[in-house]
Structure 1
Amino acid sequence: MRRSLALKVGTVAAAMAVAVAGITFSMNSATAQTNAANGYASQNGGTTGGAGGAVVRATTGTQINQALCGRSSDSTPIIIQVEGTINHGNTADVSGSSCDVGSTLIDLKGVSNVTILGVGSGAVFDQIGIHIRESSNIIIQNVTVKNVKKSGSPTSNGGDAIGMENGVRNVWVDHVTLEASGGESEGYDGLFDMKDDTKYVTLSYSILRNSERGGLVGSGDSDLDSSFITYHHNLYQNLNSRIPLLRGGTAHSYNNHFVGIVESGINSRVGAKIKVDNNYFEDSKDPIGTFYTDLRGYWQVSGNVFDNVTWSSPGTDNYPAGPNPTSTTTVSIPYSYSLDNANCVPSVVSTTAGANKGLKTSNGSCSIQTPTNPPTDPTDPTDPPTTTPPPTTGTNLSLGAGADGTSKGGGTSYGNVIDGSTSTYWSPSGTTGRISVKWGSAQTIDTVVIREASDAVGNIDGWQLVNNSTGAVLASGTGAGTISFTATSLTKVNFVITAASGTPKITEFETYA
């Protein structure tokens, strides 16, 4: 059975309506994600994620799963704005025909047209990894994923912070922070892994640090179908190796800052080709080459800076590109890009890379560009106040109507939800209850707006909107916001709170035709 969905919904500014699990959210999705996909993610038709779809807010892993499972299909565009800490404790499995999710990871399986965007005070996936498989057109932006383990407790995603496999196409991972607290012996695996025919991926303006393994392309020497990957303006810090380990395929690495690399950096193997432009390698060992195998790969190098870098001696299974790196192949890049001078890469990357940096980017001339309203800015229209649902045009039919309910908490009143003021509110005497709006004659309505007090946002874990006369459930879900449904003639409509994590406070129960 499909689970219904209602999450905290973004501001309406124009009008785009998208049906999600029987509930229609109207919002301006054009401003919900910032910047545009670049690198290889801009090829093969481009990567737009959930652009044009519903914008929903999630503060738990369960709500992320509900958003995915509540879509009308597995390709219905959706932008999931995430704030807070996502972990095993708040992630539950959810059923639905448009998803295949789980409780131990964020699983984007068999889906397309999805954006996961960190907003507000930030989004942290703590010990819970993001897995993309059999999926396409995915954007992950402005989030932190940390301490994901494959052994120990808790475990998630095979120990990968972000992993992709099995026919994945067009993924843009941007302004993220991926980090561990050790290596394989401590239970961690890769930070950014791709395998089994994953193509057209860009990792940009991100931080990968404190791990034994940065990331691989291809899980073994026979897994050679993954290709067309761009890495740019990333900070690779305190990593042992795999930055990346590239088996077969084609990649492009430019304007990255490698610092404190312990064993090896870019490891091109088994016929792989990588273009390495204007990177800054610092305090590191063997930044480029073929390592730990005699199945050689190739590289095209230009404009890189090697600052306090050491090179090992060539030998069996060890083919460093230095100490004087020269190109061993040529790589044709199909997209346009601007190169910062390598000497300014450390300062540019320090300012721009990682989550919660305001989605700052470089203009290609060592200068920083800042979006007008980055999603980490509390006043940003892409990060709307969750305490006030979107305005609705037309006449609020609740004004002048009556109200009643099952119970009311001390100092509250049923009439407070129809007085046009968000400074007054109704609460049930416990955590659940009913509040209703009623008229002397039948009214036809198709939209309800439930507004919450600012200190009670997120308390409503389950609700139903019910036609009092017939008992028909018009809509159901979690959270508060704008609820649209098939136009219905009725004399009384009930908002029934079926589950809550705290005491709900409803300031307004608005109704519209």
Structure 2
Amino acid sequence: MRAHGKSKKTYAAALAGAAGCTAVVLAVTGAVGTAGAAEPRARDLARQTLAEHDGWASATTGTTGGAAADADHVYTVTTWAGLKAAFADGGTAPKIVRIKGTLDADGATCADFAADGYDLDQYLADYDPAVWGYDKEVSGAQEDLRAASAAAQAKAIKANVPANTTIIGVGKNPGIVGGSLQINGVDNVIVRGLTLESPLDCFPQWDPTDGDTGNWNSEYDSAVVYNSTHVWLDHNEFTDGDHPDSTLPSYFGRVYQQHDGELDIVKGADYVTASWNVFADHDKTLMIGNSNGAGATDRGKLRVTLHHNLFKNLVERAPRVRFGQVDVYNNSYVGTADYSYSFGIGFESQLYAEKNAFTLPKDIGAGAVLHRWDDYPVTAVGNQVDGRTVDLVAAYNADHADAPLRADAGWKPTLRTRVDPAKSVPKVVARGAGPERLG
């Protein structure tokens, strides 16, 4: 076994000039952090691969991430600049990127991204519905400056994940604050053991045509998977952290929405498994398929498995589905007074929901779990609401006789490993989900 230390290619030197970047190339045995005693290979979580039959990401070639990385392509990073540099180094060769500590992706202030001349007060004055109305989208100088400001922020807080990569948290409280992992146009990615705090969009766009009274629309998911295949997201926590929607101001009678989703799987993405994650304290949480008009890219794709995840204190989209064959089983849902729905049935969706458990406020019934955006069938079997087994489709239809849902999504999942009884799901998930329970 080779001793710890610098590899033939000294990564720290390669990153000279990247402010605050610390990167350590580790021996192939995969010990965590700085030089020290190595763990046996069998205990190296960074080299674990997705098990056979563990959801859609195990299909065809399976998902191995950077498990085959050599010593020159194993990095430990402690800054956002270091993470981006590690992603850029080595092309598509298998790599392991260990995140140590919390990486601050939005250390700059919103003013640092603002284009010269952009002014929120002026933006609000120009596009006040009393002046602009509700019948056309905003345009003009302040909207152009807002878009330029948004582009500057996007460049800073987005990080493009390469193919054949494992990203894993190590040490105490590893995670990312205010960054957006872009899994775009690649194959074979693993993300594990991180707390991902949602980015705050500094420059939301006002759309007066969105709904009857307009809406603020924001960008930036904590992680987005698009046009990518074989992605495994495991034992992470997605949260709004110190900036929940309750802290955001309102303009024009609508929340100045600075959050988008926690995780989106869109635009031709395929073969994705999300397991043992925590999704917390958010509004529009998890979207699978982002447009009814995307059939050319999405039809026959968006095959996603969600199992043993904890969804707590959320409003909606857990998930909302278009097009995909989505298997949702053994997840635990804990609702608050703001709860709207969990499963959104969208255009050409084929959702299969089995043995999930829901704990809802007393004034919210089982009929709220499903929401019909479009008339497509759903399979829902063996699910429990407040400890009772409930036919979710029948419960929804009892509340919505004017626009019922149809049963039977037309397929049955086969890529599963352990399936727990619904009654045990809340305890099983509470004991096992989240980054602190990895390993």
What is the TM-score with the length of structure 2 in the denominator? 0.67
Shift of 1:319: 3.9
Which structure 1 segments of 5+ residues have no match? Answer: 15-25, 92-100, 322-326, 360-373, 375-513
Shift of 1:336: 3.7
Question: Alignment partner for residue 52 of structure 1, among 48, 63, 68?
Answer: 68
Shift of 1:354: 1.0
CA radius of gyration, larger in: 1
Shift of 1:32: 4.5
Shift of 1:306: 1.4
2:156 aligned residue: 103
Confirm or deny that 1:238 pairs with 2:313: yes
2:18 aligned residue: none
Shift of 1:223: 2.3
Shift of 1:106: 2.2
2:411 aligned residue: 331
Distance 2:386 2:58 in 1: 32
Change (3 A) 1:35 1:307: farther
Distance 1:242 1:70 in 2: 36
Distance 1:28 1:63 in 2: 27
1:116-195 → structure 2 map (5 Å cutoff):
116-151=167-202, 158-165=219-226, 167-180=227-240, 181-182=244-245, 185-195=256-266
Residue deviations 1:332-368 (CA, integer Å, cap 9, x gap): 32424221011111111101111112x2xxxxxxxxx
Contact 2:106 2:177 in 1 (8 A): no
2:376 aligned residue: 297
Residue deviations 1:94-130 (CA, integer Å, cap 9, x gap): xxxxxxx95312222xx31011100111212112121
Which structure 2 segments of 5+ residues have no match? Answer: 1-10, 16-21, 31-37, 109-153, 205-217, 247-254
Residue deviations 1:11-46 (CA, integer Å, cap 9, x gap): 4549xxxxxxxxxxx998772426542211111311
Question: Alignment partner for residue 278 of structure 2, among 184, 188, 207?
Answer: 207
Confirm or deny that 1:269 pairs with 2:346: yes
Distance 1:34 1:52 in 2: 7
Distance 2:58 2:368 in 1: 27
Shift of 1:179: 1.1
Distance 1:151 1:278 in 2: 40
Structure 2 counterpart of 1:62, one-letter code:
A
Confirm or deny that 1:86 pairs with 2:103: yes
Question: Alignment partner for residue 77 of structure 1, among 94, 107, 111?
Answer: 94
Higher strand share: 1
Contact 1:238 1:259 in 2 (8 A): yes
Contact 1:61 1:90 in 2 (8 A): no
Confirm or deny that 1:314 pairs with 2:400: yes
Shift of 1:89: 5.5
Change (3 A) 1:237 1:336: closer
1:345 aligned residue: 425
Distance 2:308 2:196 in 1: 18
Distance 2:357 2:155 in 1: 40
Contact 2:63 2:189 in 1 (8 A): yes
Contact 2:345 2:378 in 1 (8 A): yes
Distance 1:36 1:304 in 2: 30
Residue deviations 1:204-249 (CA, integer Å, cap 9, x gap): 0011111111111111211241421000000111111111110112
Contact 1:270 1:296 in 2 (8 A): yes
How many correspondences in the alignment? 324
SS of the residue corresponding to residue 259 of structure 2 reads coil
Shift of 1:164: 1.7
Change (3 A) 1:182 1:320: farther
Confirm or deny that 1:112 pairs with 2:163: yes
Higher helix share: 2
Contact 1:289 1:319 in 2 (8 A): no
Contact 1:136 1:171 in 2 (8 A): yes
Structure 2 counterpart of 1:176, one-letter code:
N
Question: Alignment partner for residue 23 of structure 2, among 7, 24, 42?
Answer: 7
Distance 1:160 1:212 in 2: 12
